[in-house]
Amino acid sequence: MKSHSLKIYLVLLFSFSTFVWAGESKESKISGLVFGDYYYIFSNHDSELKNMNVVWLRRVYFTYDQGLAQNLDMRLRLEMAHPGDFKTKSAAVPFVKDAYLKYSLKKAQFYLGVSPTPTFALIEKVWGYRSIEKTPADLYKLGSSRETGLAVKGKIGTNNQIFYHAMVGNGNGQKGETNKYKKIMAAVGSNLTSYLVIEGYADFEQRSANEKRYSYQGFVAFHQKRLTTGLQFLHQSIKYKDQKDADRALLSAFVRARLQNQLTGFLRIDKLFNKLSEGPDISYLPVSDKARPTLAILGIDYAMAPGVHLIPNIEVVTYDSTKIDNDFVGRITFFYKFSQ
CATH value at residue 92:
2.40.160.10
pLDDT tens-digit readout, 181-210: 999 999 999 999 999 999 999 999 998 889
Give per-residue pLDDT as tens, 304-313.
Answer: 999 999 999 9
Distance CA 310, CA 243 (A): 48
**Average pLDDT over all residues of the chain:** 91
- Rounded Cα distance, 52 and 62, in Å: 29
pLDDT in tens, 13-58: 444 444 444 444 578 999 999 999 999 999 999 999 999 999 999 9
132-176 pLDDT, tens digit each: 999 999 999 999 999 999 999 999 988 889 999 999 999 888 888
Q: What tens digit of pLDDT does each residue of 203-230 get?
A: 999 988 899 999 999 999 999 989 999 9
**DSSP per residue over 181-241, as a string?**
--EEEEEEEEE-SSSEEEEEEEEEEE-SSSEEEEEEEEEEEEE-SSEEEEEEEEEEEEEES
pLDDT digits (tens, 9 = 90+) for 237-288: 999 998 888 999 999 999 999 999 999 999 999 999 999 999 999 999 999 9
Our measurement of the distance from residue 231's CA atom to the centroid of its chain's CA atoms, rounded to an integer in Å, reads: 17
The reported pLDDT for the residue numbered 53 is 95
Amino acid present at 144: S
Residue-number span of the structural domain to which 203 is assigned: 2-339
The whole-angstrom separation of Cα 283 and Cα 36 is: 13
Evaluate the CA torsion angle 246, 139, 326, 252 in order and state its sign. negative
Percent of the chain with pLDDT over 70: 93
| Predicted pLDDT of residue 174 | 81
- Within 88-189, residue ranges assigned H as helices are 121-127, 136-139
Q: What are phi and psi of 314, to 5 degrees?
A: -130, 150
Comparing CA positions, the residue from 121, 28, 115 lying closest to residue 339 is: 28
Q: CB–CB of 241/210 below 8 Å?
A: yes
The confidence score (pLDDT) of residue 25 equals 53
| 84-95 confidence digits (pLDDT tens) | 999 998 899 999
Please give the pLDDT value at position 20: 42
d(CA 130, CA 57): 13
As a whole number of angstroms, the distance between CA 248 and CA 234 comes to: 8
Q: How far apart are CA 93 and CA 84, in angstroms?
A: 13
Spatial CA neighbour of 278 closest among 239, 234, 246: 246
Provide the pLDDT for residue 23: 42
- Total structural domains within the chain: 1
pLDDT tens for residues 274-316? 999 999 999 999 999 999 999 999 999 999 999 999 999 999 9
CB 250 within 8 A of CB 276: no
Which range is least confidently modeled, 18-27, 29-38, 99-108, 326-335?
18-27
Q: What is the pLDDT of residue 22?
A: 41
